[in-house]
Chain A
Amino acid sequence: MNTLNVIAAVKAPVIDYKGISPLFAIAGGAVIVLLAALFRGRFVQRALVPFLTVAALGAAIGLTIWNWHTGDSRPIVEGALAIDPLALGLSLLFYITGLATVAFAWRSVALRESGSGEFYALMLGSIAGMTMLASAENLVTLFVGIELLSIPLYVLCASEVKRETSLESGLKYLVIGSVGSATLLYGLAFIYGATGHTGFGQIASALGNSVSITDPLLLTGIALAVAGLAFKASVAPFHAWTPDVYEGAPTPVTAFMAVATKTAAFAIILRLFDEALVSAQLQWAPALAALAVITILVGNVGAIAQSSLKRMLAWSGVAQAGYMLAGVVVGTQLGLQATAFYLAVYLFMNMAAFGVVIARERVSEHGDGLKALEGLGSASPLLAWPMTIAMLSLAGFPVTAGFIGKFYLISATVGGDWAWLGVIIVVGSMISLVYYLRVIAVMWMSPFKIELPGLPRRREVHPVAGWSPEADPRAQPEVILVTLLMAAATIFFGIVPSPLFHLAHDVGTSISALVGS
């Protein structure tokens, strides 16, 4: 009798299997990939495992589109996970990044040394974490998602096991990431302590009613959570790990981290601040605005002095995070949409840039140095054009998606009475010209002396257009293909941005509490 009562009292959560199917596809894919890779045949390692990874991601994309709906969120695991256009839209970005990473990693050293099954399974695991994070409805699932995202990444950073810098990068990321996670967890505990709830919806309704918005416990919790998430999104002043980790990690992993991790971090920042804590906006907005300003300035200034492309892109990523943070600060529908739009644009232009870096560092004696691109305009236009487009887009020139993205963000900031933040975005873009244009100049306007501060004077080497003699530039069609696709998307959405706007608009509908545009 007694036991029966207990069983009746524990109510199993209602699970919507249709809604959770993308997550199943990814998690299941990870397991299958790992198991398949137990067979050591060349065919399995080189073809079957990547194919299965692609299949899992493709299935997830299909299932996500199948689940697409606008408007309010639909719970998939009651009280823990819910899907709304924000979650679905950003999940699509993770999957696309994953697909590109599969191609980037296919011939990489990391894959050879760590085993393709392990590599791809870890990547899928990380993506599963991101998907979970994006659809988290609860402080606990948020944290589980963050950890599921991060732990595979620590390993992936160190997956080039014979290279010291890769190991160093993994270790560094592990240490810093753990500090970030711990800070976040501490903050989440405070928020729970202040409001008595872990669900985002419950927190939102408790704020201002049963809990004072100026409650010091709550504010401490928010501050700590901001700091923890800022680590993940590499927002200054919590960005110091970014250049080192990005530089040391295998470049496909760097590309994945730069885009997917940042998108995931923004997914949860948007969710936490624009949904759960939106009524405390007056309290957190000035602090986030200050972070955005610092991030934009620090990122752009830091990038100027870099001679390594990976470090340069890392710093530029910091700056771009600052632009997007400005969209979060505004706290309006328009701000949310502009941030989502920019995240999509950010994917295309960064993947194009990283693809070129990957293709070049495998054949050039300069590795990922700026010099590896010297004379690329005449040596390999198929790589030079995507890089040019990516740089122009990152700098915000018109007819690229980057311009529209910036336009959108600025109009969101002005519309939300944060006009001075828009001016800061513009000032940041001005500084960024110095380093973005330098990349273009190196590719198209050489030969000339590149003067970089802090670069030791080395012997002047002028290989024919920078290629190592034995390398065949056409040997990596998959990287070139992805790069070209990403660059084409950057231009396409710069001229016909409507599809992305529709996506951003749908994403905007997921949080209806926000002030309309």
Chain B
Amino acid sequence: MTVYLSIILFLPTIFGALALFAPRRLALWTLVAGTVLTLAYSIVMLARFKTGVGMQFITDDNWISELGIRYSLGVDGLNLFLIVLTSLLWVPATVAAALRDWDRPRLFAFFMGIAQTAVLGAFMSQDLALFVVFFDLMLVPFYFLVGMWGGEDRVYATTKLVIYTLVGSLLMLAAAVALGVMSTPAGGHISFSFATLAQHPLSGGSQYWLFILFAFAFLVKAPAFPLHGWMPDAYRQAPLPVILVFSAVVSKVGVYGFLRIVLPLLPQASVHFQELMLAIAVVSILYGSVLAFSQDEARLVLGYSSIAQLGFILLGIFSLDPKGGQGAVLQMVNHGLVVAPLFLIIGYLAIRAQGRESLDWMGGMAFRAPVLATVFLIVALATLAMPGSANFVGELYILFGTFQSKIVYGLVASVGVVLAAVYMIRFYQRAMHNPVGAHVESRDLALGPELGVIAPLVLVILALGVYPNFLLHRINAFAPTTKNIPQVALKR
């Protein structure tokens, strides 16, 4: 029993609230201080994390005993790095935001703070109802962040985003309540704790419809192929720091939900729907890759490439193989780590191309900006999973797991690896090489405000490329859980 996680969880909100009362110019810097402090706490947590012990830093209190909702937090190999990733990526996002001028900066900081708390909460929750609370809460700040500070069509985009995702969330709410109520033994006290729910598995029939509801919520959030309708508008309209965290971190909550909730609590249904989910994953990979290749707007290249990358993660999860599961967790972290600097780079490119983010507008940036070109190249190569990057290891694990269980899907998905190279190299080329665009001003990264923000992220990418075992070792500790899933499920 410790309040450690609660501190990490609520620091951003506290600082966000402080920012409401800070002077205008300092509002966002107040939040930056909060995110840095959160990151520091997360790093201490990472250092103290004991590999292979299971759930740690447990906080477990009654919140609403009448409904059986507990305030229950914990960290294990599955969510450890996602929590650290969240704390890490909020720092560059808020710094990038603080370096710009905003309308109503206090509110911006406030909503960014709440958003971080909500995302952290979703990752930390060890209680299904608490997870639902944070999962839904996440939408509120993003609704405002996109709707108040977005581009021209922001209201349309944000309404679409919220309605899409909340339709999923509400279905999940119904499913979560049903799961809790139905798996309570007669006369027992209702509980939503993951551990308790896993002990009372439901019958096959109920598992199937609950699976569909949960899967819908998580696939919308990811987004995966047929449910990604909100993505292009939201990506186009959202302010850059917001879409950075959204793409890098929030999109992972959905796939995380599969690992934390769907596989352990609905094992039979997971096996039953395995092929369907694999098909969705493969289609997402191919569809995302092909569309990423044909986009002119830099943000949408990343948007569609995210669909492809999340398809990979989904593939790993539903290979229902321990290796695939570990690869998926690793790849969640990797994708967050590469997509965040890519969004920062889009911001830098836009500054040099008169604020336009279209690839047609850019070109030839590399001429006088070797540092920018190098940074971009490193990140781009990591994204396309060049051997030597942590992404390579992640994709390898995922494909390995898929080959083990369903080889056909693995073979098709391998094509996606090649396609990733195609769209990333095209993106890099169109922006950095090619003839110099008419309105492009080639200028290298400014040392403080630009390089200072992106360099730490690139260093992390490089370091993990050299030593991916740092992640794998701790994620492997989670393997017993994933390993059990297919066996338990197949036995029935």
Interfacial residues, chain A to chain B (CB-CB below 8 A):
377-378, 392, 396-399, 403-404, 406-408, 410-411, 414-415, 419, 422-423, 425-426, 429-430, 433-434, 437-438, 440-441, 444-445, 448, 497-498, 501, 505
Contact = CB atoms under 8 A, between A and B. Distances in A.
Contact of A448 (B133, B140, B155, B167): B155
B113 to A, nearest CB: 14
Given A407-B173, A441-B155, A445-B154, A414 B136 contact: no
Given A437-B143, A445-B158, 9 more contacts: A398-B137, A407-B67, A407-B173, A410-B174, A411-B177, A426-B170, A430-B167, A441-B159, A445-B155
B144 interface: yes
B166 interface: yes
B125 to A, nearest CB: 12
B177 A407 contact: yes
A284 to B, nearest CB: 24
Contact of B177 (A398, A410, A434, A505): A410
Contacts of A414: 177-178, 181-182
Contacts of B178: 414, 419, 422
B174 A397 contact: no
Secondary structure of the B side of the interface? helix
A399 B148 contact: no
Contacts of B139: 397
Given A392-B140, A434-B163, A441-B159, A408 B173 contact: no
A233 B159 CA distance: 31
B64 A497 contact: yes
Interface of B: 64-67, 104, 129, 132-134, 136-137, 139-140, 143-144, 147-148, 154-155, 158-159, 162-163, 166-167, 170-171, 173-174, 177-178, 180-182, 190
18 contacts: A378-B104, A397-B137, A398-B133, A398-B137, A403-B133, A404-B64, A414-B178, A415-B181, A422-B174, A426-B171, A430-B166, A430-B167, A433-B163, A433-B166, A434-B163, A437-B163, A497-B66, A498-B65
A268 B306 CA distance: 55
Given A433-B162, A433-B166, A426 B173 contact: yes
A498 B133 CA distance: 17
**10 closest Cβ pairs, A-B complex:** A398-B133, A501-B66, A445-B147, A414-B181, A426-B174, A426-B170, A398-B137, A410-B177, A398-B136, A411-B177
Nearest to A504: B66
A444 B148 contact: yes
Nearest to B134: A398
A505 B166 CA distance: 30
A392 to B, nearest CB: 7
Contacts of B144: 444
Nearest to B184: A415
Contacts of B159: 434, 437-438, 441
Nearest to B167: A430
Contacts of A445: 147-148, 154-155, 158
A429 to B, nearest CB: 5
Contacts of B147: 441, 444-445
Contacts of B133: 398-399, 403
A34 to B, nearest CB: 43
A315 B390 CA distance: 54
Contacts of A498: 64-66
A151 B173 CA distance: 42
